[in-house]
Amino acid sequence: MNKLNVLYEDNQIIVVEKKPNVLSQSDVTGDIDLLNIVKEYVKEKYNKPGNVYIGLVHRLDRPVGGIMVFARTSKAAKRLNEEIKNHKFNKTYVAVLDGVLKENKGELVNYLYKDSKTGKSKVVDKSFAGSKLSKLTYEVVGYYKDKTVVKINLITGRHHQIRLQFKNIGYPLYGDQLYGNKNNEQIRLYAYKLSFSHPVSKELLEFKLLPKWKEIEDETIIHRL
């Protein structure tokens, strides 16, 4: 069984860490994906025969690591999806940008279009057919050499949104092989905090897990995240 970092589990949900470069769910590559890893974990731990239900309610890009929650019942999946739809499901990211960002905080608002042929998205004009409104807010939490460490709250959840919106203002994410400056580094984008209401008990749950990056080892930066 693939080693799984489980942050929380009960009979309705399971909260785990997605490692960078692991798929959220299966695709045409046939590579291992987190959804099936979680199914395998539940099947073995609880000795469940037959097919195990695990509901995927949100995703992270393949190169991006971070916290994800999966539903263990269809009822939990439905209620978590409703929270996402009603903007009551909160994901906070930490990212490292190429360059020294001057503004301490701000909001980025763009329209994005996903090209199904290339699998890439781009910033377009509002009038562009198929464009989707994309919003996020950010706050600078520190600097590392010639880079900026920011925490990001997603207001919308568009394809490659964070990566594109920061590239659009001239500060691509460090290590972004698709939209940034090419290098051999892992992309510095991580969903480090997740908060939502438990689908049954309604208790507000919050989970936090920081990536092991040299850019955030400073205690001042850690304190601000």
pTM of the model: 0.95
Place of tokens 């490659």: 160
| pLDDT value of residue 181 | 85
Structure tokens at 192: 């480090």
Q: For residue 2, what pLDDT is reported?
A: 65
Which burial class, exposed, middle or buried, applies to 87 when counting CB atoms under 10 A from its CB (0-12, 13-18, 19+)? exposed
Closest to 192 measured CA to CA, from 95, 84, 66: 66
Task: Identify the pLDDT of residue 54.
Answer: 98
**Cα distances (Å, whole numbers) of residue 201 to 10, 82, 149:** 11, 15, 36
Question: Tokens at residue 103, please?
Answer: 């503004």
Residue 11 φ then ψ, to 5°: -80, 0
Task: Name all domains of the chain by residue range, CATH numbers in brackets.
Answer: 6-224 (3.30.2350.10)
Length, in residues, of the chain: 225
Question: What residues in the chain have per-residue pLDDT under 50?
Answer: none
